[in-house]
């Protein structure tokens, strides 16, 4: 039996133009963090329970009050309409069909109103501009289209350097009409439109007040930063290194998760992304303190096959999670606490 999920990256590599696939898959600088992300989850081993009734497995949870059938959701990524003409719409419909949730990039190529009209549960990811007020029209249109939360990405004061080698870059080959369509009016050339390099905890409160929505902070790796976010009113802490696309050599999210979750306690929800590719990765993340995990590249690679392929990807992952939970003696997600132990060969 072959694992279909394993074929998605290679299928995408073959189907997509070279600059586009390179953009999706690449990491910053030497690609060290990007290449370590998945292996870091397999640094853990699982200590399963036995003699427990695992006839019925319950994978349901909530994120900021929204019900999910399974604690797996879709992270924000750009260029979805370059991967497939249906882009964000396919992603939203697939998450709606599977009872998941999608986070929409502020650079999305689909109007927020169209995403909202799919009926999907969605959050908006934002980068704030140096002049915060220039972000307000985008925020207002997301609120109007039914975004349920805001995800403030804080690991990108500047875009991490990536090496493209020979040939055109993705930006030279992509139709600008499928980028940032929600920036209305287009203020990208206005003074102060560049990404803010002075983000601080006060921006969390500002965002919450401006929109009336809960704010999740994405890109936290340190417990002390997580505490600052919680004290500033963050509803969620999202452990992420941006898929290894920002600071190369930053620690894996698998390593960063447990200390952050411990520092946050029950004061906010904790999520994680980065290299999650299987049900075993998900169960490990849950055990280390994540309430839900997010996927970046996996749904992008699946999107090559459109909505049905994204749906299958999410369903397969859920099936793998059920299998991992059953074999671990866990009926509910909360039973996973203490399941993951560090070090493949070190025992206890």
Treating both helix axes as pointing N-terminal to C-terminal, what angle do 253-264 and 223-231 enclose, rounded to 10 degrees? 40
CB 238 to ligand FNR: min, Å: 8
- What secondary structure, in 3-state letters, does 95-144 show? HHHHCCCEEECCCCCCCHHHHHHCCCCEEEEECCECCHHHHHHHHHHHHH
- Note whether 274 binds ligand FNR by CB under 6 A: yes
Contact segment (CB under 6 A) with ligand FNR among 72-80, 180-188, 197-205, 259-267 equals 72-80
Six token digits for residue 43: 């640094």
Specify whether the CB–CB gap between 179 and 155 falls below 8 A: no
- Both tokens of 86, joined, read 């249906």
Q: Which residue is nearest to ligand FNR (CB)?
A: 296
Of residues 155 through 214, those in contact with ligand FNR by CB under 6 A are none
Asked if residues 72 and 98 have their Cβ atoms less than 8 Å apart, the reply is no
The answer to whether 189 touches 134, Cβ cutoff 8 Å, is: no
242 is catalytic: yes
- The two beta strands, 236-239 and 269-273, are parallel
Contact flag: residue 83 with ligand FNR (CB under 6 A): no
Q: Which is nearer to ligand FNR, 79 or 333 (CB)?
A: 79
* Contact status: 273 vs ligand FNR (CB under 6 A): yes
Q: Which helix (H) or strand (E) holds 229?
A: helix 223-231
Q: Does the footprint of ligand FNR cover residue 125 (CB under 6 A)?
A: yes
190-209: burial string, b at 16+ Cβ within 10 Å, e else: eeeeeebeebebebbebbbe
| Among 5, 16, 28, 37, contact with ligand FNR (rule: CB under 6 A) | 37
- Residue 304 found at the interface with ligand FNR (CB under 6 A): no
295 binds ligand FNR (CB under 6 A): yes
Q: Which is nearer to ligand FNR, 48 or 306 (CB)?
A: 306
Q: Does 24 bind ligand FNR (CB under 6 A)?
A: yes
Active-site residue identified among 38, 84, 242, 332? 242
Which listed residue (59, 98, 107, 135) binds ligand FNR by CB under 6 A? 107
User: Any idea which residues carry the catalytic annotation?
Assistant: 242
Per CB under 6 A, residues contacting ligand FNR are 23-24, 37, 75-78, 105, 107, 125, 153, 218, 240, 242-243, 245, 273-276, 295-297
């Amino acid at each position: 039996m072959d694992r279909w999920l394993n074929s998605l990256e290679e299928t995408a590599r073959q189907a997509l133009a070279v600059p586009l696939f390179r953009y999706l898959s690449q990491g910053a600088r030497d690609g060290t963090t990007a290449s370590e992300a998945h292996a870091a989850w397999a640094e853990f081993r699982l200590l399963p329970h036995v003699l427990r009734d695992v006839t019925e497995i319950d994978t349901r949870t909530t994120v900021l009050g929204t019900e999910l059938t399974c604690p797996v959701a879709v992270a924000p990524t750009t260029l979805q309409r370059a991967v497939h003409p249906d882009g964000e719409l396919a992603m939203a419909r697939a998450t709606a069909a599977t009872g998941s949730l999608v986070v929409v990039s502020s650079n999305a190529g689909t109007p927020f109103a169209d995403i909202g009209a799919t009926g999907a549960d969605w959050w908006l990811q934002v980068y704030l501009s140096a002049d915060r007020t220039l972000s307000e029209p985008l925020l207002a249109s997301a609120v109007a289209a039914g975004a349920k939360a805001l995800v403030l990405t804080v690991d990108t004061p500047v875009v991490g350097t990536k090496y493209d080698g020979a040939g055109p870059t993705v930006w030279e080959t992509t139709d600008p009409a499928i980028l940032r369509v929600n920036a209305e009016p287009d203020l990208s050339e206005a003074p102060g439109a560049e990404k803010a390099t002075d983000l601080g905890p006060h921006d969390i409160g500002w965002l919450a007040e401006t929109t009336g929505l809960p704010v999740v902070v994405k890109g936290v790796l340190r417990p002390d930063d997580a505490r600052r976010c919680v004290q500033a009113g963050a509803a969620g802490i999202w452990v992420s290194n941006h898929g290894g696309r920002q600071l190369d050599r930053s620690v894996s999210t698998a390593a960063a998760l447990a200390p952050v979750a411990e520092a946050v306690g029950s004061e906010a929800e904790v999520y994680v992304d980065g290299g999650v590719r299987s049900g075993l990765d998900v169960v490990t993340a849950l055990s280390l303190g994540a309430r839900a995990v997010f996927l970046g590249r996996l749904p992008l690679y699946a999107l090559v096959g459109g909505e049905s392929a994204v749906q299958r990807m999410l369903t397969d992952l859920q099936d793998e999670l059920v299998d991992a939970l059953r074999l671990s003696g866990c009926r509910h997600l909360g039973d996973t606490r203490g399941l993951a132990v560090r070090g493949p060969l070190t025992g206890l």
